Amino acid sequence: MHRPAIASILVLVSLAVAAPAIAAPQAPGRASATSTVKLIDSVMAPSSLTVRRGARVRFVWAGSIAHNLSGPGVPRSYLTARVRARTLTLTLRRKGSLRFLCTLHPGMALRVRVR
């Protein structure tokens, strides 16, 4: 008996969530692609992205000072906390232009265009 292919995909997604330090397989141009954005002192790198609907964006705190994160889909705890080391992966399900920012550092922002 064969398991449906979707089961394998769900397992991969689950592993990526459970172990964010392990890089998930990336396939550029596919809806399941993950883009990594680093929060460095005091910029987001890259500062703009264009992705397909359904893509994931993984925020990685890579700087030595604290940053917070605000934007669509970001849990409130990331805005209220001064975070030093954390990752957050969001799945972007709607087309449009999104903006994420650190409110502690003016100009520390990311714009994402979801196609």
Applying CB under 5 A, the residues found at the interface with Cu ion are 42, 67, 102, 104-105, 108
On whether the CB atoms of residues 91 and 54 are closer than 8 A, the answer is yes
**Shortest Cβ 82–Cu ion spacing (Å):** 9
**Shortest Cβ 105–Cu ion spacing (Å):** 4
What CA–CA distance (Å, rounded) separates 107 from 44? 9
**Shortest Cβ 38–Cu ion spacing (Å):** 12
**Shortest Cβ 111–Cu ion spacing (Å):** 16
Q: For Cu ion, which is the closer residue by CB, 81 or 104?
A: 104
Q: For Cu ion, which is the closer residue by CB, 50 or 103?
A: 103
Q: For Cu ion, which is the closer residue by CB, 14 or 103?
A: 103
Q: For Cu ion, which is the closer residue by CB, 32 or 42?
A: 42
Concatenate the DSSP letters of all residues of 19-78 into one string: -TTSPPP--TTSTT-EEEEEEETTEEESSEEEE-TT-EEEEEE-SSS-B--BSTT--HHH
What CA–CA distance (Å, rounded) separates 19 from 29? 23
